[in-house]
Amino acid sequence: MNHQEHLDKISDLIKDLKFTMMTTVTHEGHLHACPMTTNQFDLARKEIWFIADKTTQTIADIQANPQVNLSYTTNSSKDYVSINGVAELVQDPNKLEELWSPTYAAFFENGKEDSRIQLIKVTPNGAEYWLSGNAVVNMFKMTAAAMSDGKVADSLGENHSVEF
């Protein structure tokens, strides 16, 4: 596959996934992960957008160290995507208007005017993805390997890395 085909594959895997685990680095150097809703995902523009609460550990971590990782997994096929990038804290009323959903009123009592709202834009540096393939076929391969002491892990799916 060429570079664009890898990017298209990543976009295809993530397009229907709303949730990711965003990992940040704490001021002590520890990793901190929290679930986030992906509001907009556009690899062609190298932008992934989130709406967050300014008072959270995630925002404090990004202020100190903007390096983040986003982990996605598909529900049905057990495919995985890991995106590393740089997070930027953005104040943009027009972008907020574009990303806003009435669902956020449950988190921000003053709606779009809530002073705790913080936009996060992640600019990806690179990504890695794993395609696990057909689960039934993989089960038979693992069973056959267990019975014959053969190694099949390398043939249970695909793994690719992409730089942006």
**Angular region, 15: left φ>0, alpha ψ -120 to 50, beta rest:** alpha
Question: Tokens in use for 113?
Answer: 């005017």
Q: List phi, psi (to 5°) of 29.
A: 90, 5
Classify 133 as helix, strand or coil: coil
Looking at residue 19, its pLDDT comes to: 95
Given a cut of 70, whether residue 14 has pLDDT beyond it is yes
Identify the band that residue 70 occupies on the pLDDT scale cut at 50, 70 and 90: very high
Looking at residue 139, its pLDDT comes to: 47
- Amino acid letter at 73? T
CA–CA dist 116, 47 (Å, integer): 22
Point out which residues pair with 88 in neighbouring strands. Answer: 121
